[in-house]
Structure 1
Amino acid sequence: MAKSEGPSQPVEVELPPALVRLFPGSTARMAIEAASVAALIQALDARWPGMRDRLCDSTPRIRRNIHVFVDGARADLDTPLRPGARVKIVTAMLG
């Protein structure tokens, strides 16, 4: 997984309902300190072990059925996060 660079920064995160149901104690919206999408996923996994495995595959990349958007733009693990960024994690429908 990519490493974060620079200081951590609070960002707003929105999780899909499917993840919230799988991880008791998680919420649909929260603030987390992270300098990159990779660091954000690490922080989520630290709070709710196993969440990283739901979001990333072993290569590591974001799973193909998961989409991460930062301020409305599609993101990957290396995407940096600015203070106050809005991160939305969405599960895609596969057919």
Structure 2
Amino acid sequence: MAEAVTVLLPEALRRLFPGAPGLVEVAAGSVAEAIAALDGRWPGMRDRLCDSTPAIRRHLNIFVDGERARLETPIPPGGEMIVMTWISGG
């Protein structure tokens, strides 16, 4: 059974899913499992985070314990996953 991990969600994503907090704990052993757990609580969230290949959408970055992650990246028990939207400017 997967251990609890902490997921931080950006405001831009939370606006699309009323009631979604900025900080949530889910049981997951990888980024893909964490996204599946989020989608279980807020249906449609997976489609906002992943494309159809499946991979993390290009306009998002996901970090696990400070390191850039992919769907297959493991999350250690008690670890932290941060979802960030890209910021562009000129």
SS at match of 1:22: coil
1:91 aligns with 2:85: yes
Partner of 1:16 in structure 2?
A: 10
Q: What is the RMSD computed on CA atoms of the aligned residues?
A: 1.0
SS at match of 2:33: helix
Runs of 4+ with >4 A deviation: none
TM alignment of 1:1-95, pairs within 5 A = 7-94=1-88
Q: Any gaps of 5 or more consecutive residues in structure 2?
A: none
Q: TM-score, normalised by structure 1?
A: 0.89
Contact 1:65–1:94 under 8 Å retained in 2: no
- Amino-acid identity (%): 55
Q: Between Structure 1 and Structure 2, how many residues are aligned?
A: 89
Structure 1 residue 25: Cα displacement: 1.4
Structure 1 residue 93: Cα displacement: 2.8
Q: Any gaps of 5 or more consecutive residues in structure 1?
A: 1-6
Q: TM-score, normalised by structure 2?
A: 0.94
